[in-house]
A and B are shown apart, each in its own frame.
Chain A
Amino acid sequence: MAELTYLQAISDGLRTEMRRDKRVFVIGEDVGVYGGAFKVTLGFQEEFGHWRVLDAPLAETAIVGACTGAAIMGMRPVAEMQFADFISCAWDHLVTVAAKQRYRAGTPVPITVRLPSGGGFSGGPFHSQNPESSFAHIPGLKCVCPATPEDAKGLLISAIEDPNPVLYFEHKHLYRRIKGEVPEERYTVPIGKARTHREGDDVSVITWGAMVYTAGEAAQQLESDGVSVEIVDLRTVMPWDKPAVLESVRKTSKALVLHEDTRTGGFGAEIAATIAEEAFEDLDAPVKRIAAPDTPVPFSPPLEKAFIPQVDDVVAGLRELAEY
């Protein structure tokens, strides 16, 4: 095993699949000669040639449209959105065609769309969003949100292998900050399975992406208060691992749902509602949500800090639940 950054693990997963399967190709803005805005595909064009590492025009509609067509013809395209925020241009192709084709005509659409998402570096309203809940709402699309390098590689391979369109949300704030042991060989992490990031008995935090680490730091602080916090890293937002979440909540009887996306209609609402519906008799406190306020992501560093849930916010939320 080698220690890789989260970003290196994504490259590694993509390279593994491209070496293994000739149907896999990459398309996106600046992914070829430049190696991608974040250098995920650096050196790919040299290795795989410019027909398998395609520089696309600045047109997300064209990128996803080309992927959908290629997938229907039997290819395994991997599209890169330079920033997750830009995917709204491709909404129609994804939602109207890719998501529905299998139900409508029985044709699999095995496309993977890589979405560098998330804030924390003053990217402002167009370069910081976490739009997973918008797509989780669309039947036919899958959404994965890895938090660790190991999951980043394993989930990317699963996404490419999956016969359905999969949106792969990679958190930019984790790219070079998070390192971890990643197996060198090919492996998959199943879509739809959560991971227990930390075991505990008193409160469950249900979260994903970069917030896994925010929750982890908060849990450590709570430890000194004698409060034992369990963290469930969802890993896949759709289809989400309901049994794992319910099992944890049934154990602790208190749940905090945490995400970086905005609060109203965020995916946390779905999780909280499901807990209330299916684990009501096991609850010892109201289900709590911590999420960003319902505004675009601000540029200004102090404002952005106020916007994205911070360790202190989570500590306060956990204390509130523990004391309830």
Chain B
Amino acid sequence: MATTEAIDVVMPQMGVSVSEGTITKWLKQQGEQVEADEPLLEISTDKVDTEVPSPGSGVLTEILVQEGQTVDVGTKLAVIGGDGASAPKQVEAPPEPATAEAAAEAEAPSSAESPAPTAEPAPSTNGKTFVSPVVAKIASEHGVDPSQVQGTGRGGRVTKKDILNFIESGPQPAAPAQPAAPEPPQAAPQAPAPAAAKAAPVPAPAAAQAGESFEPMSAMRKGIAEHMRRSLDTSAHVTSAIEVDMSKVSAIRAKLKKEYQQSYGVNPTYLIFVARAAAETLREYPWINGEIRGDQIVTRSYVNLGFAVELQDGKGLIVPVVKNAETLNLLGMAKAVTDIAQRARDKKLLPDEVQGGTFTITNPGGYGTFHGTPVISQPQAGILGTYAVVKRPWVVQDELGEDVIAIRPIMNLTLTYDHRLVDGALAGRFLRDLREKLETWDESAY
């Protein structure tokens, strides 16, 4: 019986981790009669090559996607019946047939009885069975298609144990999966039809080599990757370094520590002193606190200080911003930085709080490094790196004006600047002034 109503043929979902497919061959031509379930076209995805059966009977009125084209899951490929223009009834092509691999696995014990090794669609466990949240998460993390896992739960449901056993013993995934959930602050949810996915043409690895394993890139990681690359492509990065004697800061720190901790619950860290001094110095160097916008140079009457905060054991980075940092005294800075860093780790930052920075401080010195070349957070003009405070032999003058060697806590500071806007001499003067403020820290002024 021919279908009178028009039926859409759409790119089927070939497992949860597959987002697109390529049409390799149309088995029917436009104008030809096709019966329900008759093979209509062949498609290829990064997981499987398969035939797509016709979702209904009728004349193939219109072919919308030609051979060789790659489209997202859910894209309309053709129309059967109707006149090809009327609002058609949406019928999805049947869900994924089992791969030959899965079918072979399922049928292994009785394979002698099956005359032809063709991939019969497995019983209804495919695609339509309920996938629990934890199974979906594990599947996504390991790039496994749950429909390929033998389920032992109720009604053949794939349980957490099933998928964990599968991953432990089963075949390696063919390609990394899409991330399970977007992470702040980059909002790039991978919906069923991720048009954005094609924007970044990341070559899919063919297959895991021995000893390799895949994990999906989080939305945050993708965002960081894109930003780092774009920054290096945009700014002319140059780094200058200076050594700062932190004796004075160290002494004041020791004095303030107890009061700050007991009365305010914050620590007067070296970073806070550097941030306070940098905010002050930046007011005198508007270009280092500035930005190139088009062919204009933007300067500001305020300093919005970004702080690079590490998340999740080195697996992420976020740069919350302390607005109007030039208005904060040392205690205000300590409170503001403690607050944003804590909320960054708790994922409680508001979108507004990671935007609008005019300059950034990064502190990789926590692990003892004494030098680095950070990447500028676009569209800013500079980023200050603070490094480990190390006791070093240091030449100073005694009261008679003679050179003597003293033991001093020394910190290296780097300024990485955009040489398009900031010249080396300007950067040098900025660092000199910053050093001056730290070495002769005036308690009454801060």
A residues contacting B by CB (< 8 A) are 253, 280-285, 323-324
Contact = CB atoms under 8 A, between A and B. Distances in A.
Contacts, number: 29
Contacts of B180: 281
Interface centre among B134, B136, B137, B181 (most CB of A within 10 A): B134
A283 B153 contact: no
Contact of B137 (A281, A323, A324): A281
A280 B135 CA distance: 11
B160 interface: yes
B435 interface: no
B159 interface: yes
Contacts of A285: 132
A282 B153 contact: no
B157 interface: yes
A253 B160 contact: yes
Given A284-B132, A323-B153, 6 more contacts: A253-B160, A281-B136, A282-B133, A283-B133, A284-B133, A284-B160
Nearest to B155: A324
Contacts of B181: 281
Contacts of A282: 133-134, 137
9 contacts: A253-B132, A253-B134, A280-B133, A281-B134, A281-B180, A281-B181, A282-B133, A323-B153, A324-B159
B164 to A, nearest CB: 10
Nearest to A250: B134
Contacts of A253: 132, 134, 160
Nearest to B180: A281
Main secondary structure of the interface of A (DSSP, over half): loop
A283 B134 contact: yes
Contacts of B315: none
B198 interface: no
B157 A324 contact: yes
A324 B160 contact: no
B128 interface: no
A284 B135 contact: yes
Interface string B139-163: 0000000000000011001011000
B276 to A, nearest CB: 35
Contacts of A281: 133-134, 136-137, 180-181
Nearest to A254: B160
B198 to A, nearest CB: 27
A282 B160 CA distance: 9
B134 A284 contact: yes
A284 B153 CA distance: 10
Contacts of A323: 153-154
Contacts of B132: 253, 283-285
A265 to B, nearest CB: 26
A76 to B, nearest CB: 28
B112 to A, nearest CB: 33
A285 B130 CA distance: 11
A207 B281 CA distance: 59
A298 to B, nearest CB: 34
Interface centre among B133, B135, B137 (most CB of A within 10 A): B133
A282 B138 CA distance: 9
Interface string B159-172: 11000000000000
A324 to B, nearest CB: 5
Interface in B112-140: 132-137
